[in-house]
Chains A and B, each alone.
Chain A
Amino acid sequence: SNPFEVKVNRQKFDILGRKTKNDVGLPGVSRSKAIKKRNQTLLKEYKEREKTNVFKDKRFGEYNTKITPEEKMIRRFTLERQQNYGKKNIYNLNEDEELTHYGQSLAEIEKLNDIVDSDSDTEERGTLSAELTAAHFGGGGGLLRKKVSSEQQDEEEEKPKSRKELIEEMIAKSKQEKQERQTRRENALELTEKLDKDWKEIQTLIARKTPKSERKDKEVEKPKPDEYDMIVRELGFEMKAKPSERLKTEEELAKEEQARLQKLEADRLRRMRGIDEEANKKRPNHMSADDLADGFILDKDDRLLLCYKDGKINIENEEEKEEEGEEEEDEEGEEEDNENEEESQEESASEDEEDDAADGHSDLESDHESEGEAAENKEEKKHKAKENESQNVEKLDPKREAAKSELPYTFAVPESYETFKSLLAGRTIEQQLIILERIQKCNHPSLAVGNKAKLEKLFGFLLEYIGELATLDLPELRTIDKLVLPLYNLCQMFPEAASDSIRFILRDAAHDLEEVIEVKGRATFPGLDMLIYLKIVSLLFPTSDFWHPVVTPAFTYMSQLLTKCRVTTLQDVIKGLFICCLFLEYVSLSRRFVPELINFLLGVLHISLPKSQAQGYTVVHPFTPVGKNLELLLVCDKEDLKSWEKQNVPLSIVTRLKETSKTEINHTRLSCLALCFDLIKKGAVLYESLPSFHEIMHPVRILLTQHIPVNEYPEKMQEWYHSALKELENKVKHYTPLICEKKKPVPLKQYTPKIVKVLEFGRKQAGSKKEQERKQLIQRHKRELKGAIREIRKDNQYLARMQLSEIMERDAARKRKVKELLGSLATQEGEWKAMKRKKWKN
């Protein structure tokens, strides 16, 4: 274009790799473009600013981009025909429609049809083919024609394909390719497997028979190997037979165990503080106490404490299994060896085959040996473990033998809870345990594919079973006590499934609670099963973690129980105290602060007092300072007070409504009170390090010192009381003013350039992704704003120009008209004067 119309934006520095868009500008062109655009839009709007009627384009499909022009034409045509169809001139009876094709009458075309065809045929026959012309005469018209025709074809073919279709096609193609690749890979794998198998078949031949036969041949062919070489090789082989690790002494074992425990404890502490949760995700695997920590993994989980005593068949079973395991391992070893051999073959292609073969064989043998040793170790270990276990079991139950002979040795994992229950129903505790253990052994995840899911289910069943045992009229707590062991083992095997099922139980319980609150407005404590579940949580999971998928919901649930549930009976008090114990146990390591615990203990103390006491403290929900359900723990009977002995509260009280004597009830009350004192003491020990320990314990202390009638209590109770009070009182009050953590000082701005790594040109890398996004947005907004302002300004200028030109036009018109008028007036005047003059003359 005209160089005078080009404006070049000079660049200060040339930067490699940067693409610039705006190095050359065409101000004239862009201005005229802008003006044209404004003429079409703004000017139009401006001119129509006071007009209300609008122009409607009712042509069919004019703005519909979905239909092609041809279709549009066809539709229009049909519409037109339809409109005209009914409006025929009624007087014109024999009006014939003339059919047309491309505007020509079909009738005429029909007439000329043959002639035209033959014409064209001959013409075509006479012309040279396009290729020919292209080849001989350099294309020219022919090439052009071809191009055109091919383009047309393309258009015809590709017109219907929209962008979406194209993309879909592409996806389909890539999928197909992927599939092909996969099948190819599978084929290759199959082939290699087949080759391996073949090789295995042949290998024995090579290892044992061929070498001898070959050796002879080769001996003939080749000279005897050097003696030196032989020795060297032998030495080399000897090196491979490494000594197995020696057995560790007791001390070493103890040391290792200690180290392991220390590591686990350190892990626990880290989780408790809640730091770098993300950083260290590795789960500490369970390791048995006998673990040598030498990376040797048993393919079989036999960490159960309890085992069978007279187990000839069992031991055989075990051995069989072990043998199987060995075989498997052997095979694996062989495979490895094969690989080794292949490698060595490649390396020493020049070496003679005999040596090669010998090589492989001796390798194998030595490996066999080491395997054998390992297996022996394992067996020994197992025997030891088994002996220990059997000793344990012997102590546990003498009359097991009789019962045992009735139990089958293999069990399938029950598919439903009902079958599971029927399996355990009517058995003694020991038998139940054995059954559970056998189920686990028979269906170990390493034995079959589906076993993992089955055993995971077993955990849920076991939990449910425990819950059911706990809700019985006479809860079988002893059984539960034992069943916790298999539960623990299963949990160690499948932590995720275990946590899921426990969380499920917790969620159900919480929802029940919520519903009850919504319906009745108050909640009641749950049954013994929930309490047991909560206790089990503390056995299975570490409760000191800062956050734990099971323990944290359990905490929240317990907190709800202590704050929402009404305390109306002695059972409620016991349940509440049980939950308090749970809280204390949960936080015993982490020493976390539980306000609900202190509140509840305060409330329990409150209800042990007679009504209308002078107050210096406030009890909070669910306890009320006045009203019903007070004096639940109040004991007035002197006799009962005297005869009370501290005894453990049986948990069965919680479910069984007791019809026992008043004395017993009073004794239970006193036991609860003693428990409460003890809990206060333990809580005080736990929280003594909190800076506001005294504020937290203030109400409890007031209650203890001012309201509790100590002297009326029996001596034992006074002991509990004093030990609790001692813990509260002998803490020093110590406050240091708080100081905020120091903020990192903002560094002064310096002149040294900030160096940012440039990974991609034209993009700033600093900051996180979010920050970058924000910056980008801000920048874009700024740019848009600037652009909009500029546009508006230009619009205004344009409009002002238009208005000015309008005014000028109007003014010019006015001037012209005035001139005209004046001119006509002047001529009139002139004429009149002329007339006058004439008259004068006359």
Chain B
Amino acid sequence: MAREAALAACLEAVLGSRSSANRVFELLEPLAGQEEPEDIVSAARTCSRLFGALLERRELFVGLLPEQDASLGESYSAQDKYRIWMRHRYGDCVRCLGELMGHDAFQVKELALCTLMKFVELEAQYPLIKIEWKGTLTFPCDLLKVVVDGLLPTTEDASLLISRFQEYLEYDDVRYFVMKAVTASIGQVMQKTKERPLPFYQQNVFSLISPINMPNKESEMVRFMVKQDNREELKFSKLQAHKQVFEKMWLTFLKHKLPPGLYKKVLVILHDSVLPYMNEPTLMMDFLTVAYGIGGAISLLALNGLFILMHQHNLEYPDFYKKLYSLLDPSIYHVKYRARFFHLTDLFLSSSHLPAYLVAAFIKRLARLALTAPPEALLMILPFICNLFRRHPACRVLLHRPAGPADMSEDPYVMEEEEPSESRALQSSLWEVQSLQNHYHPDVAKAAAVLSQTLSEMEDDISGLLELSASELFDREVKKKAVDVPLEFEQVRGLFGKKNDIFAEHFSLD
């Protein structure tokens, strides 16, 4: 308390008369970061009040700041000398606060961020840059750069602080300059590392830029921090300029190698919140093609962005279906992004102009892989295959081949073949589905049995089945009401007492 009282007195004195201006150092001293968090907090509050007042009174030097030593000797008036000196103290304060954003205590970090943003707001209102002509940009870009650098530490996860910062990104001009600052920051930081990924830094950048909410129309851009009269002429009020900066930022970010986890996260949001706001979405082509070539889950995710590029921006992707075909491996039925992948695959295979051999290869491969799939995936893939048969009646030979050779010693289909046209799928039959008719889950068995009958004309709607999860399946089973419960008629003789009990052979009750 005493400390706070002292600080308050100090503030009074500095604001009261210029003669006690030197007591500013008393205020700045605790900001160096060695003190207890509470002290730092109170000091930062006082500083914010002091420089806020000074900014409002315009008692800080405006224009290009001369060196502190140089200013003393030269022909400035005493008034100017004071203002230059105070401006230097202000600079010290900002630097200290920027450093405090890396403090251990979140309380301090948050306060430093808020104070800096308050300065940004005030500086925007009472610019420290001399307005030489009407179009001069008065936004304090340098100060914002300090904030952005503070938000993006290279050694720790700052997502909490970044989420606190989100509210400022609602301002269109702040967003514009933050995007610029981020672009610059990435350039600087990644330059040094030489293609080595910096997991924390990149994670921070991602959490800063992924929630950026771009406006859809120019008329939506009405929230500005700086109220400038000539706003319409300025760059940052144009949607086009925003998009350009946005695009540049993302491209700079994606230029560098990403850690695998982040790669997936980027791909998940890419089609939704990045591609629509780019001036030239085709610039993402390289990134997506590379991602598509990586394999595994990353390829599955890249599919979505690629689809948008192909569908809306005329991207020509050679051997697309071959690549898609090679993406099918046993893990597709087990991965998290199953619903998304099959939704897109359904879209890709919905064209009626696809050759029959290709569709047959897809069917056969999906069915083969289904032999290792869990029931919830099977319930989805079986109607999926039914739909493919409906769209491409030429493939029905897989189900119905009355004039074929009676016995074969080998399945003609070659699973290992990468090229769908070489896989000889059309000469094969869908024995996998026949096996699945013996599946233990009654619904799966029924779904598989549908294929051995003549298919109806109407396509099944699989959109509801895509997201089916194992627990939903279980709930569905458990909720079914039974009229009566059949019972085992064999009398029990103990836990492992059945005839030929497998357990009795391998487990003991000890």
A residues contacting B by CB (< 8 A) are: 261, 264, 267-268, 271, 274, 281, 283-284, 286, 289, 305, 477-478, 480-482, 484-485, 488, 491-492, 495-496, 498-499, 503, 506-507, 510-511, 513-514, 532, 535-536, 539-542, 545-550, 552-553, 555-557, 559-560, 563-564, 578, 581, 583-588, 590-596, 598-599, 618, 620-621, 647-652, 671, 675, 678-679, 682, 690-696, 732-741, 743
Contacts and interface: CB of A to CB of B under 8 A. Distances in A.
B477 interface: yes
29 contacts: A284-B486, A480-B495, A491-B487, A496-B484, A539-B498, A540-B488, A542-B487, A546-B442, A552-B442, A552-B477, A553-B478, A556-B474, A581-B507, A587-B440, A590-B440, A594-B439, A620-B330, A620-B331, A620-B333, A649-B507, A649-B508, A651-B508, A675-B506, A732-B409, A733-B409, A735-B409, A738-B401, A738-B452, A743-B454
Contacts of A650: 507-510
B445 A599 contact: no
A498 B372 contact: no
Given A510-B478, A560-B471, A737-B408, 18 more contacts: A274-B445, A477-B509, A477-B510, A484-B495, A496-B484, A514-B471, A540-B492, A548-B486, A581-B507, A591-B438, A592-B445, A648-B505, A648-B508, A650-B508, A692-B432, A738-B434, A740-B399, A741-B454
Contact of B507 (A599, A621, A648): A648
B473 A556 contact: yes
A741 B453 contact: yes
Given A274-B442, A283-B484, A592-B439, A734 B407 contact: yes
B220 interface: no
Contacts of A556: 375, 441, 470, 473-474, 477
Contacts of B494: 481-482, 484-485
Given A553-B477, A743-B454, A618 B406 contact: no
B329 interface: yes
A641 to B, nearest CB: 19
Contacts of B374: 559, 563, 595-596
A484 B492 CA distance: 8
A557 B488 CA distance: 20
Nearest to A602: B372
B485 A550 contact: yes
Contact of B480 (A478, A507, A545, A549): A549
A621 B338 CA distance: 13
Contacts of B453: 740-741, 743
A307 to B, nearest CB: 15
Given A477-B509, A541-B487, A738-B399, A621 B501 contact: no
Given A560-B474, A695-B368, A741-B453, A555 B440 contact: yes
Contact of A271 (B371, B434, B486): B486
Contacts of B330: 618, 620
A387 to B, nearest CB: 19
A199 to B, nearest CB: 41
Contact of B371 (A286, A692, A741): A692
A281 B431 contact: no
Given A581-B502, A735-B410, A735-B411, A695 B371 contact: yes
B505 to A, nearest CB: 7
Nearest to A277: B483
Given A559-B374, A620-B330, A735-B408, A542 B486 contact: yes
A485 B486 contact: no
Given A559-B470, A620-B372, A678-B506, A696 B401 contact: no
Sorting the interface of chain B by its residue count into under 10, 10 to 19, 20 to 34 or 35 or more gives 35 or more
Contacts of B438: 591-593, 690
Nearest to B500: A588
A586 B440 contact: yes
B503 interface: yes
A736 B407 contact: yes
Contacts of A547: 442
Interface in B378-424: 398-402, 404-411
Interface string B464-497: 0000001101110110111111111101101111
A563 B495 CA distance: 26
B334 interface: yes
A281 B407 contact: no
B502 A281 contact: no
B463 interface: no
A516 to B, nearest CB: 11
B363 to A, nearest CB: 13
B168 to A, nearest CB: 32
A583 B441 CA distance: 12
B377 to A, nearest CB: 10
Contacts of A592: 438-440, 445
Contacts of B183: none
A495 B484 contact: yes
B470 A564 contact: yes
B442 to A, nearest CB: 4
Contact of A594 (B401, B410, B440, B482): B440
A55 B430 CA distance: 74
Contacts of B79: none
A35 to B, nearest CB: 48
B409 A584 contact: no
A546 B443 CA distance: 10
B495 A738 contact: no
Given A480-B495, A552-B477, A556-B477, A736 B372 contact: no
B471 A737 contact: no
A281 B508 CA distance: 39
A510 B438 CA distance: 25
Given A480-B495, A556-B441, A695-B368, A578 B507 contact: yes
Nearest to A480: B495
Contacts of A590: 440
B346 to A, nearest CB: 22
A499 to B, nearest CB: 4
Contacts of B485: 283, 495-496, 498-499, 541, 548-550
